[in-house]
A = this chain, B = another copy of it.
Amino acid sequence: MTAVVCEALTQDAIAGFGHLIEATPAKAFEINDGWTERHHALATVDVEGADAIVSMFRGRARPLVATMLERHPFGTQAFVPLGGRPWVAVFAEAPDAPLRAFLCRGDQGVQIARNVWHHPLLTLETQDFLVIDRARPEENVEVVTLSPALPVTP
């Protein structure tokens, strides 16, 4: 059983899997008479035929083991940590393809693209996440179990 070793999280590294949500000077401009710097359109929400909703996920620290993958055919799903703590994003091109794991800093969020296989939330420490995804999540998920489960090394 080979551990999956985390890569650093950059936009280039996750191209095809999703979009990085972090302060991005190249996308920034001044608003509000200079009192606010807007880092604009870091991700575009895409939720076919349903409402986009804002939720909070209270993620519990858990063993860093990848046990399953899921994907959401009809909507993007964004995760942004509110506790400033590191977490881990895990993707795969297909359920039987090698896993790719990314160590996300506490100031980095990720929006997962539609239909991209990913592991449910893995956080190194208990913290809340802001989540933007599609209403009616129960109609928008496919799941596969990973056998064997794979440890993830941050």
Contact = CB atoms under 8 A, between A and B. Distances in A.
Copies of the polypeptide in the assembly: 2
A150 interface: no
A62 B31 CA distance: 13
A112 to B, nearest CB: 12
Most chain B beta carbons < 10 A, residue from A34, A43, A56, A62 = A56
Interface residues of A, number: 45
A14 to B, nearest CB: 15
B42 A45 contact: no
B55 A39 contact: yes
A36 B58 contact: yes
B58 A41 contact: no
A128 B44 contact: no
Contact of A82 (B52, B107, B121): B107
Interface of A: 21-24, 28, 31-32, 34-46, 51-60, 62, 78, 80, 82, 84, 107, 109, 111, 120-121, 128, 130-132, 135
23 contacts: A24-B56, A31-B57, A35-B59, A36-B58, A37-B58, A38-B58, A39-B55, A39-B58, A41-B53, A41-B55, A42-B54, A42-B56, A43-B53, A44-B52, A44-B53, A44-B54, A44-B135, A45-B53, A45-B132, A52-B132, A54-B78, A84-B84, A109-B130
